[in-house]
Amino acid sequence: MSEPEFISTTRSSYDAVAEEYAEVVGDAVRGNPFARAMMGAFAELVKEAGASRVADLGCGPGRVTAHLHGLGLDVFGVDLSSEMLAIARREQPGLRFEQGSMAALDVEDGSLGGLVSSYSIIHTPPEELPAVFAEFHRVLAPGGCVLLLFFADTDSSQLAWPFDHKVTLAYRLSVDRVGELLRKAGFAEVARLIEQPPADSERGFEFGHVLVRKPVE
């Protein structure tokens, strides 16, 4: 079956700039106390639930994956881009990275304790997000958590606003609307954090961190 065009475009766009991206773009957690706080809470909840495996979806160079590993999670990374994965494997030789799409994970139903997507749902066309969240629900065990980080807006008049991301087309997303889609996919919201842009921000986008859980039946 042929894959959707946005998947091939995202893969080839990141393949083309992977080394430059890894050099220029830092890491979503190291310089950011808010991301660290939400990831810390996520890790505690996953461990409290007695869960084991966690996937870092759209892991890029694997720095968030390494942070999650440092928090005591049994984590592996998944990404579309083989060039990004090559960097992740080089930078984090002790961790496991697999090529794949977050919309069709090569993982059994109910087999994961947690999922993190750090700035990786941003390249998915908004009309495809319900299918992606349904896939997250499928692979998580009851009680499992999802943590999403994304360019955000507190305006809930629409779901998404496209913007000229430096690598490939991306979308800024309404935090309320994303919360609503996650609820419709069967998740219960646990916490959300909205981070204001720094004073020198080029685009002035807010950053959303949303943590949800698959209810225990």
Ligand X SMILES: C[S@@+](CC[C@H](N)C(=O)[O-])C[C@H]1O[C@@H](n2cnc3c(N)ncnc32)[C@H](O)[C@@H]1O
- Per DSSP, which regions of 80-167 are E strands? 96-99, 112-118, 140-153, 160-163
Does position 14 bind ligand X by CB under 6 A?
A: yes
Residues 100-139, interacting with ligand X (CB under 6 A): 101-103, 118-120, 123-124
Q: How far is the CB of 213 from ligand X (least distance, A)?
A: 21
171 phi and psi, to 5 degrees? Answer: -130, 135
Using the rule CB under 6 A, give the single segment among 46-54, 74-82, 151-159, 184-192 that binds ligand X. Answer: 74-82
CA distance 128 to 198: 30
| Candidate residues 42, 45, 60, 209; the one interacting with ligand X per rule CB under 6 A | 60
CB closer to ligand X, 143 vs 160: 160
Helix or strand run (H / E) with residue 190: strand 188-195
**Binding-site size, ligand X (CB under 6 A):** 23
CA distance 94 to 104: 25
Using the rule CB under 6 A, give the single segment among 36-44, 45-53, 60-68, 173-181 that binds ligand X. Answer: 60-68
CB closer to ligand X, 46 vs 78: 78
* N-terminal to C-terminal alpha carbon distance within the chain: 34
| Alpha carbon distances (Å) from 148 to 86, 89, 173, 199, 200 | 24, 23, 11, 24, 24
| Candidate residues 55, 73, 84, 112; the one interacting with ligand X per rule CB under 6 A | 84
Binding site for ligand X (CB under 6 A): 10, 14, 27-28, 57-60, 63-64, 78-81, 84, 101-103, 118-120, 123-124
